[in-house]
Amino acid sequence: MTKTVTGLFDDIGQAQRAVEDLVESGFSREDISLVAADPNEEYGRHFGPYGETTYEQASEAGSGAATGAVAGGILGGLGGILLGLGALAIPGVGPVIAAGPIAAGLVGAGVGAAAGGLVGALIGWGIPEEEAHYYTEGVRRGGTLVAVRTPDHQVSRVADILGAYNPVNLDERVETWRSSGWSGYDPDAEPYTAAEIEAERERYY
């Protein structure tokens, strides 16, 4: 049997390094999904819409983007590893870059537009509904979600790899949200702006 192991990261660079470590450790990129908030489309503008961008195009776009900048390094790393990295707009979350099976599950007939919500896609990948709501809210607030489908006997190994790159403590983060009046993920809520995401970050660092 297989299970899905997840990690939410405040820093997309840490998520990138976790993905690189997973692939270098022998996990197939076909089993790795990533969804990262992109409120200013800083990353997405270098890629085509999800579903139109091939692996080769994503790799080239990443390596050629923002040369010498942090964004370029991140894009080059992710574009060279993950399958089908591209831009999406998810209802209730906003612009993201996404790759892997979860991203494929988001896209319907309209290329580049998510036909369904992220919560449903995560549930479809075996993530419990309550956690799916939390992870979706985490992406809405600027986070990067990494999810890995793996056989049962590899679960602890994947968790150890993700845990080495400073993922969010989800229980603590949710408690912080609740203390500020959050009552649950709302698919009809407005996506966070870049300024709101920055203010959110300042609460934790």
Give the helix, strand, coil percentages of the chain, each rounded to 5.
45, 20, 35
pLDDT of residue 178: 96
CA atoms within 13 A on the CB side of 160: 6
pLDDT of residue 4: 96
- Which parts of the chain have pLDDT scores under 70? 44-81, 83, 108-116
pLDDT of residue 187: 87
Crossing angle of helices 155-163 and 12-24, rounded to 10°: 140
| 45, 162 Cβ separation under 8 angstroms | no
pLDDT of residue 65: 45
Query: How open is the CA angle 99-14-167, to the nearest 5 degrees?
Result: 95
pLDDT of residue 11: 93
**pLDDT per residue as tens digits for the range 8-28:** 999 999 999 999 999 999 999
For the chain, the structural domain boundaries read 2-202
71 is written with which tokens?
């964004």
Distance CA 114, CA 88 (A): 6
**pLDDT per residue as tens digits for the range 174-183:** 999 999 999 9
